Structure 1
Amino acid sequence: MTRKLVVRRAELKDEPFIKEMLQQAAQWLQTKGSKQWSGILKGEDRHNTSEAIKRGEVFIGRIDDQLAGMFVLWNHQSEWDEEFWGKDSSDAYVYLHRLTVQRSFSGQGISKQLLSEAKLYAKKKKNSAIRLDCIADNAYLNKLYQDIGFTYVGKKIDRIADGEKKDFHLYQCDLDSFN
């Protein structure tokens, strides 16, 4: 029997659980040899989670009252987004960050469900597209985004992230054809 993922906007009371999940994800990434999100392990919060929660940009997914995953969908560009996409002050795009699934829920399609919910939310808000960046050498994530309808639109080379020089792929999901 498939358990239902329920997605809602995060509230400030959810912040400790969100931060714990992000720390666990960063620790897991380190076991895979990646420094991605290593700032989280040092207590850095470059995405200012508290403020993003207050703005209604953090979403959590629960299964049977257990936190299963999350994502951040910014209504504005960060400096990082501006560097990758060019400055855009329109309301046409939202920017996806911090897609995360609890390790105990990995392999259950939670990422795809969270991305589908992000699309529904952005479409309801009348955004034209969702944009994101992904480390170029992460084959799993690149395939995930492509499988769920994101289109590869470019590459940024030799960007510094978490103390490492990396290449990033840019993806966009146009919402006009999304039901």
Structure 2
Amino acid sequence: MSGKIELHQAESKDGALINSILVQTVQWLQSRGSTQWSGILEGKDNHNTSEAIERGEVFYVTIEHQPVGMFILWDQQSEWDAALWKENPTTDYSYLHRLTIVREFAGQGVSELLLKEAKACAKAMGKKAVRLDCIADNPHLNKLYQHAGFSYKGQAKEIEADGHKTNFNLYQFDIN
């Protein structure tokens, strides 16, 4: 990827852009046989993205002013995260969700770029680490996070998501 890279903290006016990136991703996932995040197409958003925008927790990246992806970086643990991580809520960590790329930029290193930006945001917020979860049986995503320096921290088993039970791998990137 070349060109001017900019990180933007999403604002209310960016809601349609963020939603379009999410919808495009869900449609792509469905074309591959996945039901992941399928509620988005029905207007269900268990991550309350619009509220996360208002809290300043949604970010998107542009290259040469063209949006290439987005992510949500929660400042504190949600109910979902608490259920997976089995810990009392703490503000020591950022929780990364909905890492999503614009499909025309697939295979060009955008995911790695988004992860780098998420780590930098968490560091600027004074967090100890960035945590995330991903579906355990998705080898591509698991490799992506491992190659980006995230350490495997365990597995949450038989978690209800998108209408069925699945296992989630837990990853953490410690900020030095």
Which TM-score band (shorter chain)?
over 0.9
Hey, what does 1:126 align to over in structure 2?
A: 126
Q: Is the 8 A contact 2:35 2:162 kept in 1?
A: yes
Q: Deviations over 1:115-150 (max 9, x none)?
A: 111111111111000110000011111000000110
Q: Secondary structure, in 3 states, of the residue corresponding to 1:19?
A: helix
What is the rounded CA distance, in whole Å, between the counterparts of 2:85 and 2:65 in structure 1? 37
Q: Which amino acid aligns with 2:32?
A: K
1:9: how far off?
A: 0.5
Hey, what does 1:142 align to over in structure 2?
A: 142
TM-score using structure 2 length: 0.96
1:111: how far off?
A: 0.7
Any stretches of 5+ residues in structure 1 without a counterpart?
none
Identity %: 55
1:107: how far off?
A: 0.8
Hey, what does 1:94 align to over in structure 2?
A: 94
Q: Which amino acid aligns with 1:165?
A: K
Q: Deviations over 1:54-74 (max 9, x none)?
A: 111000001122211000000
Any stretches of 5+ residues in structure 2 without a counterpart?
none
Q: Deviations over 1:62-95 (max 9, x none)?
A: 1122211000000111111010112433221010
Alignment of 1:11-160 (within 5 A): 11-160=11-160
TM-score using structure 1 length: 0.95
Q: Is the 8 A contact 1:35 1:164 kept in 2?
A: no
Task: Please list every run of at least 4 consecutive aligned residues from structure 1 whose deviation after the TM superposition is greater than 3 angstroms.
Answer: none
Q: Deviations over 1:19-69 (max 9, x none)?
A: 011011001001111100000011111111111111110000011222110
Q: Is the 8 A contact 2:72 2:99 kept in 1?
A: yes
